A and B are shown apart, each in its own frame.
Chain A
Amino acid sequence: MRRREFLVVGAAAALATVTAPAVHAQQKKFSGVRLRINGYGGTYDKALIEGVAKPLEESTGLKVEYIPSSTAADLAKLISNKSNPHIDLFMADSPLMPQAIAGGILESFSASDAPNLSRVLPGFREFGDYGAPFSVASIVPVYNSNTVKPPLTSFSDIARPDLKGKVSTMPANAFTGWIVLLALAEGNGGSLANMEPAFKIMAAAKDNIVATPPSSVTQLQAFTQGEAQAGTLWEGRAYEARKSGTPLETVIAREGIYAVTSYTNIVRGCRNKEAALAYINQLLSDQGMLSVPKALRYGPTTDVALGELAADILINSRERAALKRPIDWKAFMEQGAALGERMTKELRG
């Protein structure tokens, strides 16, 4: 080969080597597209990155950026800045969904847009054509099996006389506390329209309750540091406590299972709706659906097979899913502030 030919061939080979990944990427459906989604932070986001974002990027080139923040603050931003949303996908739990829908910030979609939506179990898509439910977390009665005997069997047991100074429950100023109130009401003949039974139990439990920590992390800490021996907690956090050596048992209460579903929504005006639907389809696939249960032991919302994970997850079958109590989230949230104030009043005495 002459020197000139050698140089031409060499240059062509080098160019091909350098540009090959770019050319390959160009062929992927969503290469160059980046979607922003609010994150719940920590392990939760890591799980979603591993099970949803990474596989999707490998197969389609779509990049998803998780921005950890407060969901309520994100909702407020989206409502106040509709024309220029700061995120394309919005993760929110059931209690915030009615406000997001009323605020007109969400796109609707159906199984024809994201086929895996057809796998969602009955009762989990609570808001019509809005949102893709991808995880369910339950608030359950818990107790330290070393120090609390007999075991708790219901939410109302937080008022048991033997638990004086030993109970931690959800705060009055958050929907988690209001869910506990609803469980107390429904378990004692009340309803969302008649919450008096709940406040009676709360008043009776006043001297038992030592803490109402504001976040799930501090709630967990109250149990692992021995500040509380019984009360109510997210099932996933109870699993964490057991993993770290605190024998915190969860109870399927006689009132039923009170759970909050997490949704991923498409924000109206998002950069690329087709890419957003692809994300949702991946989220509801077996791989995506198992990511949160694997990391945090929160339940799935589809018919995915849980395998060995089932033993650690509360809502792990269709039968268990049927125990989930339906909640009218719109009415529930409309009453929330009043419920919280009354609970605060009862606890302050």
Chain B
Amino acid sequence: MNSSTAESERRKTCWLLLLAPALLTLIVFMLIPAGIVLRISFYPGSTTIGAEGYSLAQYVKFFWNPLHLSVLGETVAYALIVCLGCLVLGFPVGYSLARHPPAKRRVRMLMVIVPLTLSLVVVVFGWLVLLGRQGLINNVLVWLGILSSPQQLLFNRTAVVIVLIQQFLPFIILSVMNVVMQIDPFLEQASTSLRANRVRTFIKVVIPLSTPGILAGLSLIFVMAASAFVTPRLVGGPRAQMVGGFIYDQILTTSNWPFGAAMAFILLAVGFGLMAALNTAIIRPLTRGLHVQ
């Protein structure tokens, strides 16, 4: 008994030692700075220079302004639409990659990963060229006779959604692929042998078993889409606004760090809240009683 307790203690210590570098990095570079930003959000004025005291003024200012609320709503809507778009487009790709033999999978995976190595600004500028009035898409549509003259495809909400989906698609593909690879293909065959058709097998077997991967991918995409500011700024035009851009402006344009910090934490809270709600309402019921090997 004593030796097993000692062994268990030793294992605990080993785990702690293994976790220590990552924990330390998180504490020093994420939790402490986040704590400082949280503190700044409670300063009453519009500057941190000489600021002191605690106040909810920044939060009140945010929730009292219909513009901020509408932009927050729009941000969440963008993030949800982008998640849905990525899921619809990315799930089949991730599934098919997982079911490919490893040699074929490698080349296709490279095609999925390569866009992630490009700078975001370069990608967005590429879209500016593609979607411009003199861009490839307009030229092809005019050449095919679908359009009589080049149309404005840039500077609207649709352009923002399209570019965001393209940016984040690899994340859902990789997440789905990883989880589907762990699903034994015999389970699908077993379902078929029990007279379930392909659609039923997909809904009753594949989707529930791949839910952890979907959840992981969607969480990443939701967080990144909700905090996007380069894409909406460059392709969105005056009517497409996101909270990320507002935060950037408060910090770097008007130097109102307290308000920028408060907006950052509001966005964080909304993101956490929505992910928790999604988990409780959809993911848990789907995965109840299921175990992915």
Contact = CB atoms under 8 A, between A and B. Distances in A.
Contacts of A226: 132-134, 150
A293 interface: no
Contact of A225 (B132, B233, B234, B251): B132
B229 to A, nearest CB: 9
B289 interface: no
Interface in A63-98: 70, 72-73, 75-76, 79
A72 B241 contact: no
Which residue, A172, A211, A336, has most C-beta atoms of chain B within 10 A?
A211
Given A337-B254, A348-B239, A227 B152 contact: yes
Interface string A128-169: 000000000000000000000000000000000000010000
B67 to A, nearest CB: 5
Contact of B155 (A174, A211, A344): A211
B241 A344 contact: yes
Name the interface size band of chain A.
35 or more
Interface in A297-335: 333
Interface string A164-185: 0100000111110000000000
B221 interface: no
A153 to B, nearest CB: 24
A212 interface: yes
A227 B238 contact: no
A76 B252 contact: yes
Interface string A214-249: 100010010001110000000000000000000000
SS class, residues of chain B in contact with chain A: loop
Name the interface size band of chain B.
20 to 34
A214 B134 contact: no
Given A72-B255, A225-B133, A347 B154 contact: no
B234 A213 contact: yes
Contacts of B134: 225-226
B239 A336 contact: no
B36 to A, nearest CB: 11
A349 interface: yes
A110 interface: no
A340 B255 CA distance: 14
Nearest to B153: A227
Contacts of A345: 67
Given A212-B237, A348-B238, A79 B155 contact: no
Interface of B: 49, 65, 67, 70, 128, 132-135, 150, 152, 154-155, 233-234, 237-239, 241, 245-246, 249-256
Q: Which 3 A-B pairs have the closest CB atoms?
A: A347-B238, A173-B249, A72-B252
11 contacts: A73-B252, A75-B255, A76-B252, A76-B255, A173-B245, A209-B238, A211-B238, A213-B234, A348-B70, A348-B239, A349-B239
Given A102-B49, A171-B233, A225-B128, 19 more contacts: A72-B252, A72-B253, A72-B255, A76-B255, A99-B255, A103-B49, A173-B246, A210-B155, A221-B132, A225-B132, A227-B152, A227-B155, A336-B253, A336-B254, A337-B250, A344-B67, A348-B70, A348-B238, A348-B239
